[in-house]
Structure 1
Amino acid sequence: MLKVGVFGAGHLGKIHIQQWLQIPGIILVGFFDPNDDNAATTITEYQIKRYTNAEDLISAADALDIVTNTTSHFDIAKACLLQSRHLFIEKPMTHTMEEARELVKLVAEANVKCQIGHVERYNPAMLALRNKKLEPMFIETHRLAQFNPRGTDVAVILDLMIHDIDIILHLVKSPVRRISASGVAVISDTFDIANARIEFDNGCVANLTASRISLKKMRKMRLFQRDAYIGIDFLDKKTEIIRLKGDNEEKGFFDFPIEIGAGQQKMISVEMPNINEVNAIREELADFALAILQDKPVSVSVYDGLHAMDVAHQILHKMMMQVNNDNAEKVFQ
Structure 2
Amino acid sequence: MLRTGIFGAGHLGKIHIEQWQKIEQAQITGFYDPDDAQAAATEARFGIKRYTDADKLIADSDALDVISTTTTHYEIAKKCLLGGKHVFIEKPLANTLEEGRELVDLVKEANVKCQVGHVERYNPAFLALGDQTVHPMFIEAHRLAQFNPRGTDVSVILDLMIHDIDIILCLVRSPVRRISASGVAVLSETADIANARIEFDNGCVANLTSSRISLKKMRKMRLFQRDAYIGIDLLEKKTEIIRLKEGEEDASSLTDLPIDLGNGEKKILSIESPQISPLNAIHAELSEFTTAVLQDRPVRVSVYDGYQAMDVAHQVLKKMSLHNQLHNV
TM range (shorter): over 0.9
Q: Deviations over 1:52-89 (max 9, x none)?
A: 11011101110000001000000000111111000000
Q: Check the 8 A contact 2:248/2:267 in 1, yes or no.
A: no
Gaps in structure 2 of 5+ consecutive residues: none
Structure 1 range deviating more: 101-110 or 11-20: 101-110
Alignment of 1:108-257 (within 5 A): 108-247=108-247, 249-253=249-253, 254-257=255-258
Which residue type is aligned with residue 148 of structure 2? N
Q: In 2, Cα distance between the equivalents of 1:191 and 1:130?
A: 35
Residue 297 of structure 1 and its aligned partner are, at CA, apart by 1.1
Q: Check the 8 A contact 2:140/2:208 in 1, yes or no.
A: yes
Q: Check the 8 A contact 2:251/2:258 in 1, yes or no.
A: no
What corresponds to 1:71 in structure 2? 71
Q: In 2, Cα distance between the equivalents of 1:113 and 1:233?
A: 31
Change (3 A) 1:48 1:200: same
Q: Deviations over 1:79-118 (max 9, x none)?
A: 1111100000000010000100111111111111000000
Q: In 1, Cα distance between the equivalents of 2:258 and 2:250?
A: 13
Q: In 1, Cα distance between the equivalents of 2:214 and 2:319?
A: 23
What corresponds to 2:304 in structure 1? 303
What corresponds to 1:37 in structure 2? 37
What corresponds to 1:326 in structure 2? 327
The count of residues paired between Structure 1 and Structure 2 equals: 328
Gaps in structure 1 of 5+ consecutive residues: none
Percent pairwise identity: 67
What corresponds to 1:50 in structure 2? 50
Q: Check the 8 A contact 2:124/2:278 in 1, yes or no.
A: yes
Q: In 2, Cα distance between the equivalents of 1:291 and 1:54?
A: 24
Structure 1 range deviating more: 257-266 or 1-10: 257-266
Which residue type is aligned with residue 311 of structure 1? V
Structure 1 length-normalised TM:
0.97
Q: Does 2:251 align with 1:260?
A: no
What corresponds to 2:99 in structure 1? 99
Residue 130 of structure 1 and its aligned partner are, at CA, apart by 1.9
Residue 247 of structure 1 and its aligned partner are, at CA, apart by 4.4
Q: In 2, Cα distance between the equivalents of 1:247 and 1:84?
A: 59
Q: In 2, Cα distance between the equivalents of 1:324 and 1:264?
A: 52
Q: In 2, Cα distance between the equivalents of 1:50 and 1:283?
A: 25
Q: In 2, Cα distance between the equivalents of 1:131 and 1:42?
A: 41
What corresponds to 1:275 in structure 2? 276
Residue 248 of structure 1 and its aligned partner are, at CA, apart by 5.3
Residue 166 of structure 1 and its aligned partner are, at CA, apart by 0.2
What corresponds to 1:85 in structure 2? 85
Q: Deviations over 1:221-260 (max 9, x none)?
A: 0000111000000000000001112345442221011121
Q: Check the 8 A contact 2:247/2:265 in 1, yes or no.
A: no
Q: In 2, Cα distance between the equivalents of 1:248 and 1:23?
A: 51
Which residue type is aligned with residue 119 of structure 2? V
Structure 2 length-normalised TM:
0.98
Query: What SS does the aligned partner of 1:245 have?
Result: strand
Q: Check the 8 A contact 2:247/2:258 in 1, yes or no.
A: no
